[in-house]
Amino acid sequence: MLSENGGSWIRAALLAGAAYFVVGKVFAFPVTHVQIWRLSAWVVSAVVFGTHIGYELFRLRHTTRVVATHTALAVGIGALLLAVAGAVHHVMTTPAFDAKWLLAFIVWPLATAVPAFLVSLVAAAVLARFARTAPGS
């Protein structure tokens, strides 16, 4: 059974995952000044990531490990959606399906979610420590 905020973290993870997907797709459209657009995509994704960590930690009051798990799940969702979009684009633009795209469905989420877990674990632990030592807390 879900706790009272059980649905909240799922919605937050799905929303953040969708945001990563949208950022990945929208910021890939421009063909000029590509480096600026890529940097902008990183900045926007970092804002989504930080906001998700803050929401899980301060609003939902989850432990650092749970925060890291949920944020990593969101990152993995975004990566999976991008892998699916890439495979669909490949199928639409080439006559044959390349089976390597099936591997992308596993590798992309893992390659992004594992580092995201580690970064969010550290970030949540630092934020939680500062929140406990802040005056008036």
In the chain, what are the helix, strand and coil shares in percent, each to the nearest 5? Answer: 80, 0, 20
| Domain hosting residue 91, numbered range | 7-12+21-132
The answer as to whether 68 is a domain residue is: yes
The answer as to whether 69 is a domain residue is: yes
The answer as to whether 90 is a domain residue is: yes
Q: What does pTM read for this prediction?
A: 0.88
| 8-60 confidence digits (pLDDT tens) | 999 999 999 999 999 999 998 888 888 999 999 999 999 999 999 999 999 99
The answer as to whether 2 is a domain residue is: no
The answer as to whether 137 is a domain residue is: no
SS3 of 93-126: HCCCCCCHHHHHHHHHHHHHHHHHHHHHHHHHHH
The answer as to whether 34 is a domain residue is: yes
The answer as to whether 1 is a domain residue is: no
| 88-127 confidence digits (pLDDT tens) | 999 899 888 788 888 999 999 999 999 999 999 999 999 9
